[in-house]
């Protein structure tokens, strides 16, 4: 293992990967002797095809002050 290695862990999705790649590129440019590695992973939510992000967000947000009291 290199002494000057930084590993970034990121989800495999296009948006998460693009953000991580941009940060890694900027860091490598700022510190030329630094080795940067991106490690991609998948979460349980990534592999669940029945739950769309819109539906998950809608369920997580309380719709009224009465329902907010349950949280």
Give residue 51's pLDDT.
Answer: 53
- Per cent of the chain over pLDDT 90 is 51
Q: Please, what are the domains in the chain?
A: 5-61 (3.40.190.10)
pLDDT in tens, 47-68: 665 555 555 554 555 555 555 5
Q: Tokens for 47?
A: 């592999």
CB 8 within 8 A of CB 37: yes
Full 3-state SS string of the chain: CCCCEEEEEEECCHHHHHHHHHHHHHHHHHCCCCEEEEEEECCHHHHCCCCCHHHHHHHHCCCCHHHHCCC
Residue 70: alpha-carbon gap to chain centroid: 28
């Amino acid at each position: 293992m290199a002494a000057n290695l930084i590993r970034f862990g990121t989800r495999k999705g296009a948006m998460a990967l693009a953000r991580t790649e941009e940060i890694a590129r900027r860091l490598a440019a700022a510190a030329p002797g630094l080795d940067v590695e991106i490690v991609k992973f998948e979460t349980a939510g990534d592999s669940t095809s029945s739950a769309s992000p819109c539906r998950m967000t809608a369920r997580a947000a309380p719709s009224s002050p009465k329902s907010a009291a349950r949280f």
